Amino acid sequence: MWLKENVSVTALSSAEMRGELQLRCDAEGYDEPLYRWYHNGHRLRRSERVTWRGRRLTVHAVTVHDNGVYSCEAENSAGIVRSFEDYVLSLPVR
């Protein structure tokens, strides 16, 4: 059992271009980690707009209210690690 300590959040799509934000939690481990997502330090809850599967988070119909810091956490039997490189969404106010 092991869990990689250097975890980061990577953007898979541009929220400005598509109106959708896709992020990946770059954590590795054996056994497969359980992933949790956070927005401005608060744990995200699934909804019609916010979904995730495994390490991938999707926020649909992104607005300025979604601006902020996105981070992830990975947990398995070896422990819990939190991302050290987070993603900051900063859409312009129109």
Domains, the chain, in order of start with CATH, read: 2-89 (2.60.40.10)
- Is this structure's pTM higher than 0.85? yes
Q: What pLDDT was estimated at residue 16? A: 67
Which position has the higher pLDDT, 71 or 19?
71
Q: Three-state DSSP class for 63?
A: coil
**What pLDDT does residue 66 have?**
95
Specify the pLDDT at position 14: 73
Average pLDDT over residues 2-10: 85
Q: What is the pLDDT of residues 74-85, one digit of tens each?
A: 999 999 999 999
Answer yes or no: is pLDDT of 73 > 70. Answer: yes
